[in-house]
Amino acid sequence: MSLKAGTKLEKVLAAGQFALTTEVGPPRGPDVDEVLKKAEVLRGIADAYNVTDNQTAVVRMSSIAGSKILLDAGLEPVAQMTCRDRNRIAMQSDLLGAAALGLKNILAISGDHQGAGASGKLKGHPGAKGVYDVDSIQLINIIKNMRDEGLQAGGDSLTSKPQFFIGAAWTPLGPPVEFRVLRLAKKVAAGADFIQTQAVYDIKAFAEQLAKAVDMGLTEKTAILPGLIVPRSAGMLNYMNKNVPGVVVPQELIDRMKGASDPQAEGIKVTIELIEQVRELTGVKGVHLQAIEAEELLPEIINQAGLSPRPEV
C-alpha cells in the first residue's frame, strides 16, 4: 500500500473502511484546557479531528497551535488553512512549520468572508482586508508540489519534502449549482486526496450532485466525506437554510424539528438517519460529523449509527 503521508485517516480510506472525521473549534483565547476538554469528549470516536482556522472570521487560537495540542493529546488533527488571511509566502511558511510539528492532514479552504464575524454579540473584524493571494484550488496545488516535487510556489526547492494528506472542501448545493461539480473536478486535479462537504440535509439534491461526480470519475480519485451538522432546533435549521451559502434544508425537516417535544433528541435521530442515507450513496467514503459547541452529543450518535469502535489500521 503506497501512502502519501501515512496518517490514520489516509490508512482508513486506503483500507476501504468508512471514514469518520469531526471538528474541534479552538477558543477565542490562549486556553489550552478548552481544547483539551473537547479532546477528552471526542477521544477515540473519530479517525481525525478538524481544527478550524478562525472560522466565521472570528479571531481564535491558530489552527496549527490547536492541532499540535490535539496531536500531543493523542488525537490525529486535520489542520485547516484559509486563503483569506495569508499570502502564499506566509502559507508555505506555516505549512513547513506544521510539518515540523508533525501535522500531516491539511485542509485547504477559502475561508469565510472577513465580514462574517460581525454577527450576534461579536463585533468581528469587518474592516479587515481579505488576502486571497491564491484561491483554494491554487493552494491545494501548492501543497501537492511541496509534497511531491519538493518545490515552493515560486519554483525554489525545499531542503526536504513535507508529508501531507491533502483535503479540500466542496459545497455541492451552492449557487450556481451547475458549476459545483466542475469546481470539485478542479480541486481533484490540483491534488485533493479527500473532500469534506458543506453540511448536507437535502439528501436527494446531494445525491444528484454526487452522481455527476461519480460519472466524471472523481470519486475514484478522491474520497468524499459529506458534512453533517447535528441539528438542535428548528431555529438553527432555519438560520442555516437562509444564511449559510450552500446549505439547503428541506421544509419538512424544519417542520419535524419544530414539532418535536425534545428537539435535541430529535436532532440526534435526524443525524443518525442522515448518516444511514449518505452511507448508501455510491461514491461516499465516510462522513464529516459536527456538533458545533455540543461535542458531548457525538459519542451517542456515533455509537447508535454503528460507527464505533473505529477501525484499527
**pLDDT per residue as tens digits for the range 145-178:** 999 999 999 999 999 999 999 999 999 999 999 9
Under the banding of pLDDT at 50, 70 and 90, the label for residue 68 is very high
CATH code for residues 8-304: 3.20.20.220
Cell of 245: 451559502
Considering the chain, what is the average pLDDT of its residues? Answer: 97
**pLDDT per residue as tens digits for the range 244-278:** 999 999 999 999 999 999 999 999 999 999 999 99
Q: Is the pLDDT of residue 30 over 90?
A: yes
What percent of the chain lies above the pLDDT cut of 90?
Answer: 95
**pLDDT per residue as tens digits for the range 75-97:** 999 999 999 999 999 999 999 99
Cell of 274: 442522515
For 124-129, the CB contacts below 8 A with 24+ separation are 124/56, 124/57, 124/58, 125/57, 125/59, 128/57
Region 191-202 average pLDDT: 98
Q: Is the pLDDT of residue 119 over 90?
A: no
Burial class (CB in 10 A: 0-12, 13-18, 19+), 72: middle
Identify the sign of the CA torsion 189, 195, 199, 201. Answer: positive
Q: What is the pLDDT of residue 21?
A: 98
Report domain extents, the chain.
8-304
Give residues with Cβ within 8 angstroms of 125, minimum separation 6: 57, 59, 114, 117, 118
Q: What is the pLDDT of residue 9?
A: 98
Under the banding of pLDDT at 50, 70 and 90, the label for residue 113 is confident
Q: What is the pLDDT of residue 1?
A: 62
Q: Is the pLDDT of residue 136 over 80?
A: yes
Identify the sign of the CA torsion 39, 297, 61, 82. Answer: positive
**pLDDT per residue as tens digits for the range 293-302:** 899 999 999 9
Q: How far apart are CA 270 and CA 272, in angstroms?
A: 6
CA angle 83-79-19, nearest 5°?
Answer: 120
Q: What is the pLDDT of residue 264?
A: 96
